[in-house]
Structure 1
Amino acid sequence: MPLALFDLDDTLIDHHAAFRAWAEEFSAEYDLGSEGFDWLMAVKARYSGTKDRLFSMVRDEFELAEPADLLWEGYRRRIPELATCRSEDLEALQQLRRAGWRIGIVTNGMADNQSAKIHRTGLAGLADAWCISDEVGIRKPDPRIFRLAAQRCGMPADDTGWMVGDSLTLDVAGGRAAGLRTVWINPSQLTVPSDQPGPDFAVASVADAVQRLLA
């Protein structure tokens, strides 16, 4: 029985669109204007750390009265309500399950936020198991989180399994280190940097990845 592990944000879920919708609401609520919205989107594009530190930056930038942890809590509560999956990706996962594949989700992030996304988008009914870094105490690209996700799916993490994700560092390098083959979600058709490990193949979407796996 084959195994496919998937990243969550900007792989299964259009996190960029959810963040943009949240940033529009947040900018309106705090009267930040278009400049504030642009700042939030620019920070999101270049920020790679944990979100608790991000909201300390947001609080300081706009001199907000609310503590950063409350701003972060509000974000975690709202983002799952804005999260969506492409219908063709959900249909592709259903096709993968019908073909006998085990499906897992491997994601960094807070347990409440990521778990809510998985349930609200219907992914919980399509995945055999998932691992959230906050829950298990391991973050991608540590290979242990991929192995744990495979174990929860009842499968070994070896070269018969696949990791599908949008990050060369977290998903491709991490998946390879765990012994998995890898698919890079790369809709912009970027070139793999010379200092980064290359995936087994690159595609534009989860639906495209599933077709390659089934082929």
Structure 2
Amino acid sequence: MPLLLLDLDNTLLDRAGAFRSWAQNFLSEIGAPADDLDWLLSVDADGLTDRWDVADAIRERYGLRTPSIELVDAQHEGMAHYTRLDPLIACALRIAGDAGWVPVVVCNGTVRQEDTKIRRTGLDRYVADWVISEEVGVSKPNPRIFALAAQRARMHLRGAWVVGDGPEADIGGAAAVGLPSVWLHRGRRWVDRRFAPTRVVDGLIPAVAAVLAG
């Protein structure tokens, strides 16, 4: 049974949609113009910006006296509130499992994602296990995190595939460890010349189909 190593945000869960929903609600609460949504999305940079930096940018733009830590907590709680597991994603994971694949989440970020995302959404019922960078002390694209995921699942990396939307973290990580990969393009073009995904698709469901066919 081969491993299916899966990214979390914007692969299994719609992180971008959850942040947008939180941002719209937050801006409305503080009385900011609706047009400021584009600014806040650009600051967030699709999750690449540290939440403390997002909080500081918000405080500075709107002259808020709210402590940064409260704004960071607001982001965490808001994201958790708006994050849902798409039933079609759950179905795709079940199909992969029935076909003999072992889904394991490999993600960067804090350990609180286990409670706020993986368990809260019910994703834990559809994956064999998960490895979070803060917990294990190493982040994608370091090949060691994929090896740790295999150890946790008590399996070999041989025959595994990596699926994710991150060019560097997911596809670069797969290339570094010598594994085939599927990139979720989300409307982007592949531009990195150092490595390339084995397959390019627009979502997890076609990604699972590509792995099963590959």
Stretches of structure 2 that go unaligned for 5 or more consecutive residues are: none
Any residues of structure 2 matched to 1:117-132 within 5 Å, and which? 117-132=117-132
Runs of 4 or more, structure 1, over 4 Å off, are: none
Question: Deviation of residue 26 (structure 1)?
Answer: 0.7
Amino acid at match of 1:182: S
- Structure 1, unaligned runs of 5 or more: none
Structure 1 residues 62-211: aligned runs within 5 Å: 62-158=62-158, 160-188=159-187, 190-211=188-209
Structure-2 separation of matches of 1:113 and 1:78: 13
Contact 1:103/1:153 (<8 A) preserved: no
For 1:50-97, what per-residue CA distance to the aligned partner results, in whole angstroms no more than 9, with x for missing partners?
Answer: 222222222222221112122111211221221123322210100111
Read off the aligned partner of 1:186 and give its amino acid letter. Answer: H
- Equivalent pair of 1:109/1:132 in contact (CA under 8 Å): yes
How high is the TM-score relative to the length of structure 1?
0.91
Offset from partner CA, 1:165-185 (integer Å, 9 cap, x none): 001111000122123211101
Q: 1:171-203: per-residue Cα shift (whole Å, max 9, x none)?
A: 000122123211101142x33214341101111
8 A contact 1:80–1:114 mirrored in 2: no
- Whether the 8 Å contact between 2:110 and 2:133 is mirrored in structure 1 is yes
Contact 2:52/2:68, CA 8 A, preserved across alignment: yes
| Structure-2 separation of matches of 1:76 and 1:180 | 33
The separation in 2 between residues aligned to 1:17 and 1:96, in whole angstroms, is 25
**Given that residues 77 and 113 in structure 1 are in contact (C-alpha distance below 8 angstroms), is that contact kept between their aligned partners in structure 2?**
no
Q: Is the contact between residue 84 and residue 121 of structure 1 (CA under 8 Å) also seen in structure 2?
A: yes
Amino acid at match of 2:41: M
Distance 1:47 1:75 in 2: 11
Contact 1:110/1:134, CA 8 A, preserved across alignment: yes
Spell out the pairing of 1:22-101 with structure 2 (5 A cutoff): 22-45=22-45, 48-101=48-101
Between stretches 38-47 and 171-180, larger displacement belongs to: 38-47
Q: CA RMSD in A?
A: 1.8
Alpha-carbon distance in structure 2 between the residues aligned to 1:138 and 1:59:
31
How many residues of Structure 1 are paired with residues of Structure 2 in the alignment? 213
Q: 82-91 or 3-12: which moved more?
A: 82-91
| Residue type of the alignment partner of 1:149 | A
Distance 1:3 1:121 in 2: 22
